[in-house]
Amino acid sequence: MTHNGSVPFVDLITMHRELEPELVNIFKSALESAGFIGGPMVEGFENDFAKFCDTTYCVGVNSGTDALRFALIAVGVQTGDIVVTVPHTFIATTEAISQSGATPAFVDIDAETYTMNPARLREYLEQQCAFDVAAKRCRHRASGKRVAAVVPVHLYGQMADMDPILELAARYNLAVVEDACQAHGAEYFSKKENRWRKAGSIGRAAAFSFYPGKNLGACGEGGAVTTSDAALARKVSVLRDHGQSKKYYHDLEGYNGRLDSIQAGILRVKLSRLALWNEQRRECARAYNELLAPMAASVTIPAQPDWSKPVYHLYVVRTDFRDDLQKHLTEAGIGTGIHYPIPVHLQAAYASFGWKRGDFPVTEAVADQVLSLPMFGGLKPEQQKTVADAIADFASFILRAETITPEFRTQ
């Protein structure tokens, strides 16, 4: 089992080297104008990103977490409300819910797409909630709290199945805020509307992260809210800037959550390449799918429903032998990641809520089995072959071990 050459999990250096002259120019023009906060670089990026997402507005903010928090507050989430999401996500989703004053509630994910299972959302609403038709309010029966919003997470660059989620949200008067922090450019085919729709354009608002490793990443922190609702965009832009509608006139208490202009300029340069980079990621995913097909008995490749055009922020396989496979790949010089090893409902931060193992079985099984393989725009075919060969080595070892020791699987 010898392997030549290592494969990084992600390569952010080569891409920035190629863009260096343009990125340095952004920095220079910020120095020359001293325009570090707001101004034309931020507005230019906001316009371009709104266009990219097929929305009317984009409001740049300081991070994806800010984007989610501001979007939730702007759609009307209030202290004491419940917001429903999935436990298979990055903790920022629930941090933003809590920081908007609400309590997170979870529904389990779909075993193939790893995103919100609309059937579980329906169960939650039908079995645990009651809808007051006159007040148009959805109430959680046990706690008496209002259920105000739902946050589907387009995880790994894969869209949640939005048609049934939107239908349920409309029936129960819930605001839909998309967590599109991993899904810049992903698309969903709405059967209801008979057209492809971009991530970020489907809910009342959506949140994007521009953390450096994202498909569209800043050289620092960054995020954005997209929406086609003018009042909502206005509210987010007030929230991100200390609640001021004009300088020193504070309509409400807000936050320091602005996107700085150097990051906005950098993001604008990168946005012009995003469609190409996403296509490269899709091509890499197709290549992995082919290379890994012979190992289907031990490694499950990502599902791609016919209604989804993912952007493969991550290429995530599933296997019963995840920890051993990760160790094997690490020894072969191949970088991997686990997104995410502990479901949010089992994190120590939420111990006081009393959630336990068994509450969300699909999420829990997935968290034990997922492994993210190297994935980035410039990933080369020979690097993918190295990864696939190392997995094939491992798979043949597993098959041999199972043949010799049938109980191997349960060890």
Tell me which residues touch ligand PLP (CB under 6 A): 63-65, 89-90, 92-93, 153, 179, 181-182, 209, 211, 223
Work out how close the CB of 260 gets to ligand PLP at its nearest, in angstroms, rounded to a whole number.
14
Q: Which CB atom, from 172 or from 376, has the smaller least distance to ligand PLP?
A: 376
Task: Please report how close the Cβ of residue 179 comes to ligand PLP at its closest, in angstroms.
Answer: 5
Query: Least distance to ligand PLP from the beta carbon of 182, Å?
Result: 5
Cα 371 to Cα 393: distance, rounded to the nearest angstrom:
17
Nearest to ligand PLP of 151, 284 (CB atom):
151
Q: What is the DSSP letter of 137?
A: E
Concatenating the DSSP letter of every residue in 215-259 gives SS--SS--EEEEES-HHHHHHHHHHTBTTEEETTEESS---B-BP
Give the span between the Cα atoms of 404 and 188, in whole angstroms. 45
- Residue 320's nearest CA partner among 206, 409, 225, 230 is 409
- Cβ 216 to ligand PLP, closest distance in Å? 11
If the CB atoms of residues 92 and 390 are measured against ligand PLP, the closer one turns out to be 92
Chain residue whose CB lies nearest ligand PLP: 64
Cα–Cα dist 178/169, whole Å: 12
Q: Which CA distances in Å does 156 have to 19, 180, 291, 389? A: 25, 10, 20, 24
Please compute, for residue 25, the number of CA atoms within 13 A of its CA located in the half-sphere on the CB side: 8
- What is the greatest pairwise CA distance in the chain? 75
Report the amino acid identity of residue 167: E
Q: Toward ligand PLP, which CB reaches closer, 223 or 302?
A: 223
Q: Which residues contact 251 (CB under 8 A, 6 or more apart)?
A: 238, 243, 244, 245
DSSP secondary structure letter of residue 158: P
CB of 405 to ligand PLP, least distance (A): 39
**Beta carbon nearer to ligand PLP, 71 or 238:** 71
With vertex at residue 336, the alpha carbon angle to CA 334 and CA 340, rounded to the nearest 5 degrees, is 170
Select 211 or 312, whichever has its Cβ closest to ligand PLP.
211
- For ligand PLP, the closer CB: 65 or 261: 65
Return the number of the residue (203 or 291) whose C-beta is nearest ligand PLP. 203
Whether the Cβ atoms of residue 402 and residue 408 lie closer than 8 Å to each other: yes
Neighbours of 37 (CB within 10 A): 12
